[in-house]
Amino acid sequence: MKSFYTPPSFVKSLFKEYIWESKCKKVLLTFDDGPTIESTEKIILLLNDLNIKAVFFCIGNNISSNKELTELLIKSGHSVGNHTLTHKKLLWLNSVEIQKEISMTNKILNENHNYKVDYFRPPHGMPAFGLKRILQNFNLKNIMWSLLTMDYKGDISFVKFAVEKYLRNNSIVVLHDNKKSKDIILDSIKIVVDDASKKGFEIGVPAECLN
């Protein structure tokens, strides 16, 4: 059961060069798969109200389709990470294809938004052997996770269980900015923030948690 919500130790040991937990004793919120018309703007508004800065791991094609939302993310002070161009599992791709997925997304952000990307997260949270060297060439940090909220199931009870049971003071929390989680995403954020407060944990900003 625990492995559904937090990565097994043997997986982290296989990929020790990646960042699995916050570098300081603060919780970091991250959002995968956006930007989307369904969720991005309302997530930003809530985070602004809560004075929280997060990392949004965005899909290149979604960035191209939602330029105004991408610009809103950047202007709101959030970090935008590379989540590949098409969200394909890296295990299915060769090194040339992986490089293209990453480089095209970086290019979209750089040329359309004058934004330099610092962080990467593989689609579906699944790294691939050989990815380390590719990311070094792009000067990107691979940000994994230590708490998967399961919000993509669209059932708030999964989120509540995951957070209450497994949230730690150095958790990198994965939430989703997509159609699957759109109906519960605001409540999911509030559950994380409220539980962190009850446990005496602080919410950190990307730069201090990942550098």
Residues 34-48: tens digit of each pLDDT: 999 999 999 999 999
pLDDT value of residue 127:
86
66, exposed or middle or buried, with CB in 10 Å at 0-12, 13-18, 19+? buried
Task: Please identify which residue in the block is written with the tokens 């791709």.
Answer: 93
Residue 198 belongs to what domain range?
Answer: 2-210
Cα separation, 201 vs 197, whole angstroms: 6
pLDDT given for residue 128 in this prediction: 86
What pLDDT, on a 0 to 100 scale, did the predictor assign at position 2?
85
Residue 105 CB contacts under 8 Å (≥ 6 apart), including other chains: 58, 59, 60, 63, 82, 83, 84, 85, 117
Would you state the pLDDT for residue 1? 67
| CATH code for the domain of 33 | 3.20.20.370
| pLDDT score, position 206 | 98
Cα distances (angstroms) measured from residue 199 to each of 104, 150, 157, 170, 174: 41, 21, 19, 12, 19
pLDDT at 187: 98
Instruction: Check if the beta carbon of residue 91 is closer than 8 Å to that of residue 102.
Output: no
Q: Identify which of 171, 169, 163 has the alpha carbon closest to the alpha carbon of residue 190.
A: 163
How large a percentage of the chain has pLDDT more than 70? 100
Q: How many domains does the chain have?
A: 1
